[in-house]
Structure formats: structure tokens, C-alpha cells
Structure 1
């Protein structure tokens, strides 16, 4: 009996140490946030006829499901809804917001395109080309890219096709300071008058990534043919550095896709501000 008691005590003590360790791991991040997602995929056909073209809307939305701070949870979800779908949806519950967004998208599609389709059909336009021209698509997918201490990095991917040669797609990154529940901007991360020096670093990294020695060689590859290379507010943080993300057409043609340039913290340490607590947590507390 005594041996059984000792064995049970050892098991309980081991379990308590394990649970305490797990609790510390989970709760060391602000708000002890946990996440879930809502997914929908629906088609609305012109005139309710499945033989006719339609619009397809697909959503995968990640939201805060639980937190040790309900005010933080609600405020974050409002912000994520606003960034993903627009301000008119930010005060709704995630389920209601997505349902309403889906309904509005299909309703607007039918309202705008049914009269045009009826006219084309009456004029006996080529049915195969009409099918492609009137088949619309919108996809919105979001997920948490990083959650560490007081930093939440959230990615939103947007993809849309409204007829034509090809669709459009873009990705947006939100770096959220959970101290203040506000987006982190470049001005929060860098010392004053950083722009020119940071632009030089971006050029140097882009040359290194493409294994060329001059800016002219980079330009010959197609970079900066659609826009100037300069620091963008569309970036994301991690424990290694800052990645600047340029969507299609921002600095390169569609065929080259989005461009990512990652600058390690070490090479821009002279430009980084020491006052940004969130950045210091990410850089120095691994």
C-alpha cells in the first residue's frame, strides 16, 4: 500500500510540474490568445439557374476564439474583421459578419450582371465566351503568422477574378502591438530619417538575392519596371528580421509575382529604434 502511495505521489508531482510548465508556455504571450477559423465556399448563379455562370466566394477567416482578456479578444476581432472585410462588418460577430459579407457579395454580383447577361443572351453572343466572362470569383483567407509575447502578425490573402485575362491577388500583413492594440508602422521601428538608408539596404539585399552586382542588372531582370523600390508598410516581423512584401505590379510585372525582401536585424541595427518594446521582445527573447 505504501509503495502504491509513493508511486501515485510521484505521478501527481510529475504531472503538476508538466502542467505548470505548459501553463507558463501558453500564458507567456499577451492575452493567452487561442484561435479558430470559419470557412465558407458558396456559388450564386445568375437567375438562380445552375446552367448559367455564377460567382464563387470562398472565405477562410481566422479569429480569436478565447482569451484571458475578453476586451482584448473583442477588440482584436473587430480589428481583424475590419481589415479583412471592411469597417461595416467590424462590430458583428465573426459568423454573422462572414454570412452578411457573403450575401452582399452575391447580391451585388446578381444586381450588376443579370441585366448585362440577359442583354448578351438575347443578342445571341457566343455562350462559351459568356460563361468565362461572367464567372466571377473572390477568395479571402487569413491566418496567424506569428504570435509571440505582445506581437501578433496576421496575414490576409485576397484573390479575385472578374473576367478578363487573369485575376488579381494580394497579401496584406498586420503587425499588431498587443500593448496598445495598434498596428506597428515603420516609424515605430526606425530612428528618424531612416528612409534613404533603408532603401539602400533593400537594393543591396535585392542584388544579393538575385546574385548580381549592380542596380542596373536588377532592373534588367524586371524589378522596378512598374514602381520604385522603397520601404513599404506592407511588411512582417519575425525573430530574424523584417520582410518587406511587394504585391504584383508594385515594383515588378504580374508575371514575376509578389516580391519579398528580408533584411536581417543585424544589418539594420544602426537604424532600429531601441524604444519599441514589441520589437525588442521578438529580437532578444527567443
Structure 2
């Protein structure tokens, strides 16, 4: 009898794992992607500086109202464009970015082209990638990772997250998830988590580590509506200096229960 129970429990465990994988695969199977890799020289001269653009952007591949809403939101948020196919939006953005690079950099490069130490100032990079994962109540969590380098001391990194209702395709906002007046209780939870994560006992210790030097902690619109918790994402410079990198603070749904709307 015990052997039979073991077999049943093992089968159930395997089934749960497969169902979890299937859920993630099902979300990704709904999306296709546009991929563009371009390298555009600033001039026709040998060893000219260049602008490198690498884009991989996912879009919902179906004819429906929800696909239209999701894809339009993605286009607007990433490229500041709307009502185009994703391929058209990517092509339009690449052309706009390349034209701006040449128009703005060419006059400056004419004066610096013989200065080898300044060559790196004109090597531009734009790299964008996207991922899709399932979230709370089958929400679609769409994450964008962007790296740009346009001269200067270092590249810039930015993460952007959009959470979509799986049925309607509407972008989920904080007011859709939390009750009225959620801001202060949630902010208190985030501050406690930041102190725990940085091993800080008080605000002075947080300041010593570079956090919240010129601002108070706030609830960001950049959040990952996960299946077990919500992760709030702060990009470099938002609550800490560039060297600190990204800061992610995760709060479980158990902690958030009192301020969440019924899902």
C-alpha cells in the first residue's frame, strides 16, 4: 500500500511541475518577436565610429482587442509610437535613432576625428531585450531591459515592467491592485524591506550606504506582479547612486493582504 501511495504522490508532483512549466510556456507561445541588429557607421571613412542597435521585442501574435491594447501599450512605452505593427514601430524607431545619431554627432566628429582619445565618445550602443512571464491571476508580466551608451563615463541601464490583464489586455496599475490609501502602508513595508536587505538599522545607516540621500522612498510604478509576491523595481539613480545598481524590493501577498483589492 505504501508503494502505491508513493507512486501516486510522485505522479502528482510530476504533474504539478509539468503544469507549472506549461503555464509559462503557454504565455510565451502567444508572443512572437521582432529582432533587429544594425551597425551604422558615422562616416564613410575607414575605422569610423558607429552606432550599434540590437533590439528584441516581443508582441502578442493574435487578432484581438487585447492584443491591440497590449501591443499599442508596448509600442508607446518603449518607442513612443502607436497604431503600427511591431515591425513597423521597430523600423521607425531604428531609423529615427540612426538619423538623430548622424545629425547630432557628425558636426562634432568633424572637429574630433583626428583625436584618437575622443573616438570612444562617438561609439553609440542601444540594446533592448524583452521577456514575458505569467503573474498573479494569469496576468502577463512584460519586462524590458534597456542598455544605452551615448558617450560619457558609463552605459545607462533601465528596466521597465508592464503587467497586463490576461483577458482584457489592459495595463494593470497600482490602483487596480491596491485599495484607496495604500500608499503609506506600502511605503512603510518597502522601507522595512530596504533596511532588511541592506542590513541597515536606521535612516542614517541607509544614507551611509548611499540610499535616499536626496529623496524619500516612494512606491514606484515599476513592479513585477508575480505569482507569490510583488517585486518593486528601482532603476539606478532613483533611490541610490549609479554604482549601487538596480534595487528590487519584494513583498509577499501575505504581507500585502490588508491593502489589496480582492482578486
Q: TM-score range by the shorter chain?
A: 0.7 to 0.9
**Which structure has the greater CA radius of gyration?**
1
Match in the other structure for 1:11: none
Counterparts of 1:1-286 in structure 2 under 5 Å? 34-65=30-61, 67=62, 70-87=64-81, 90-121=82-113, 124=114, 126=115, 128-146=116-134, 150-274=138-262, 280=263
Contact 2:69 2:170 (8 Å CA) reproduced:
no
If asked which structure has higher relative contact order (CA below 8 Å, sep 6+), I would say 2
Which deviations, in whole Å up to 9, do the C-alpha atoms of 1:56-114 show, x marking residues without a partner? 1110111122x4x5333233222222222112xx2222222222221221111111111
Deviates more, 1:39-48 or 1:235-244: 39-48
Taking the aligned partners of 1:149 and 1:269, their CA distance within structure 2 comes to: 15
- Residue aligned with 1:114, SS: helix
Provide structure 1 residue ranges, at least 5 long, that are not aligned to the other structure: 1-20, 275-279, 281-286
**CA deviation after TM superposition for structure 1 residue 55, in Å:** 0.8
1:220-250: per-residue Cα shift (whole Å, max 9, x none)? 2221124321111111111111111000000
Deviation string, structure 1 residues 30-72 (Cα, Å, up to 9, x no partner): 9x9611222222111122334111111110111122x4x5333
How many Å separate the matches in 1 of 2:181 and 2:70? 31
Q: Which runs of 4+ in 1 moved over 6 A?
A: none
CA separation of 1:49/1:93 partners in 2, compared to 1, >3 Å: closer, same or farther? Answer: farther
Unaligned residue ranges in structure 2 (runs of 5+): 1-17
How far 1:147 moved relative to its partner? 5.5
Distance in 1, Cα, partners of 2:118 & 2:210: 34
Aligned-pair distance for 1:169? 1.3
- Aligned-pair Cα RMSD in Å: 2.4
In the alignment, the residues of structure 2 paired with residue 149 and residue 240 of structure 1 have an alpha-carbon distance, to the nearest angstrom, of 10
Partners of 2:138 and 2:47 in 1: CA distance = 51
Q: How many residues align?
A: 242
Report if aligned partners of 2:135, 2:225 keep a CA contact under 8 Å in 1: no
Whether contact under 8 Å (1:56, 1:137) holds in the other structure is yes
TM-score scaled by structure 1? 0.77
Query: Matched residue of 1:96: which SS?
Result: helix
